[in-house]
Amino acid sequence: MSKLKNNSCFFLWNNEASLPVLAFKYLGDAARLGDKITVTGNYTAGTATVWAASATFALLKVYKWTMSGGVFNPVPTVVTLVDPTTTAAGSASVGPLPNGDFYWKAGGTGLRKFAADGNLLGSVPGTVVASGSNALRYLGTIGGNELVVLYQFGAGNENARIIQVPVGNIAGASLYELTPTLGSNTNLNGTGDIAFRINNDGSATIFVLNTNNGFGAYSTLRPVPVELTSFAASVVGKEVVLNWTTATESNSKEYQIERSSGNGWQTIASVEAAGTSTEFRNYSFTDRNAATGKLNYRLKMVDFDGTFEYSNVVNVEFGVPGSFSVSQNYPNPFNPTTRIDYQLPADANVTIELYDITGQKVASLISQEMSAGYHSFDLDAVKYRLSTGMYVYRMVAIDKSNGSAFMESRKLMILK
């Protein structure tokens, strides 16, 4: 994606040989937009967001264009920066974080971090990032530090500077890595720009464009992060649904889902990771075998080289159902397996038996004492030597606390 600054028009190119296609045109307030735009999300998936900052000297604003139905909304979200230390700035750029906060830098000002609503969160000391830079990108978070890369111009610079900012301590920022200088020619008509790519070995390639000193590509000496931006668990009916999102991934093989009810961790499934990506990725897993009670979940994030790290722990309270019931088997008709779900509001003696259409009992599926909660039984027609036809399954549950009885029958069909 690129932008024609004079007309505030944003164009798309599918490849170098294609003709540009107008994505949207901005005809809003009097702000002249800076030419250092940042795109997050995925255009193909319809989740892209275009970020741009005002280049009008006394107008401190950030603009966000989002997609809906596969197209960009031409009306942006406008964020006014609330910064008592800066009343005016020229061309600026934005480094968005996954939670909506962002780093902001303009020529002649220090590097600042703002909340999503525009309130100032803090400033990086000028001894770490000089005022002579105004192109930046957010790389991700690793080891409790947010990494930001900036292009610096001026004598002795003409290079890229990666800094690490401790989360919650912006004033404690320090140098992470520095690229060699591109040259010493004076910038006459621009200040350059910067981009990056995450590599398979965990490093990043930093691309530096300088108006009068050429173009450079540099590989970092240390890895950049695989960032897990969110991880949550929720109860949906009788299942627990896990959702997580990553902003960047490098050499990432899989996510192993681990569950604990207080007696150690158990790996219950794995989900294939994206490998290497600089786009937001959404993942989901449904735990259909959750037991009643408090459940803890975590992700073991495994790389191709065998290294791994754990996510934070999330937990849910998986409650006891309010009544006895047995569900219709699914799928139905089936061949050769189907699942029967049932629920118990109290500890009970449970039997589930299978009858043919004449009323003859053909199998005893369950006959045991069971605890309160959600349960299921997988019926295999081959195991029980069942032929094609209609059958009836009946559940009887005797409540152990008061002796009351529950009984319900349902039909199922086998088609071979």
**CB-neighbour burial class of residue 9 (10 A; exposed 0-12, middle 13-18, buried 19+):** middle
pLDDT of residue 143: 66
List, for residues 95-128, the tens digit of each pLDDT value.
Answer: 998 888 999 988 778 899 999 999 999 999 988 9
Residue bearing the bigger pLDDT, 402 or 227: 402
| CA pseudo-torsion sign 70, 73, 77, 78 | positive
List, for residues 165-216, the tens digit of each pLDDT value.
Answer: 988 899 999 988 888 888 877 766 667 888 887 776 667 888 988 877 788 8
Rounded CA-CA distance 381/304 in Å is 40
List, for residues 237-283, the tens digit of each pLDDT value.
Answer: 778 999 988 877 777 889 999 999 877 899 999 999 888 776 778 89
Residue bearing the bigger pLDDT, 56 or 124: 124
Per the CB < 8 A criterion, the answer to whether 74 and 24 are in contact is: yes
Per-residue pLDDT, averaged over 37-54, amounts to 82
**CB-neighbour burial class of residue 16 (10 A; exposed 0-12, middle 13-18, buried 19+):** exposed
| pLDDT greater than 70 at residue 396 | yes
pLDDT of residue 68: 81
Instruction: Report percent pLDDT > 70 for the chain.
Output: 89
Per-residue pLDDT, averaged over 335-340, amounts to 91
Rounded CA-CA distance 2/23 in Å is 10
Hey, is 187 helix, strand or coil? coil
Which of 151, 168, 169 has the alpha carbon at shortest distance from 208?
151
Distance, C-alpha 91 to centroid of its chain: 31
Hey, is 170 helix, strand or coil? helix
pLDDT of residue 6: 41
Tell me how crowded residue 42 is: count the other CB atoms within 10 A of its CB.
16
Q: Which domains does the chain have, with CATH numbers?
A: 2-219 (2.130.10.130), 227-318 (2.60.40.10), 325-414 (2.60.40.2550)
Per the CB < 8 A criterion, the answer to whether 311 and 272 are in contact is: no
List, for residues 278-324, the tens digit of each pLDDT value.
Answer: 677 889 999 988 877 788 999 988 888 777 778 888 888 777 788 89
Alpha helices in 132-213 (DSSP H): none
CA atoms within 13 Å, Cβ hemisphere of 166: 7
Residues 6+ apart with CB under 8 A from 383: none
> Which residues are paired to 216 by β-bridges?
208
Please identify which residue in the block is written with the tokens 């559940």.
395
Rounded CA-CA distance 293/302 in Å is 28
| pLDDT greater than 70 at residue 361 | yes
Please identify which residue in the block is written with the tokens 């299921």.
376
CA angle at 258 for the pair 255 and 262, rounded to the nearest 5° = 160
pLDDT of residue 8: 67
Question: Average pLDDT over the chain, rounded to whole?
Answer: 83
Q: Are strands 293-303 and 266-277 parallel, antiparallel or unpaired?
A: unpaired
Burial of 104-129, coded b for 16+ CB within 10 Å and e otherwise, reads bbbbebbbbbbeeebebeebbeeebb
CA angle at 327 for the pair 325 and 330, rounded to the nearest 5° = 165
DSSP 30: S
List, for residues 373-395, the tens digit of each pLDDT value.
Answer: 888 899 999 999 999 999 999 99
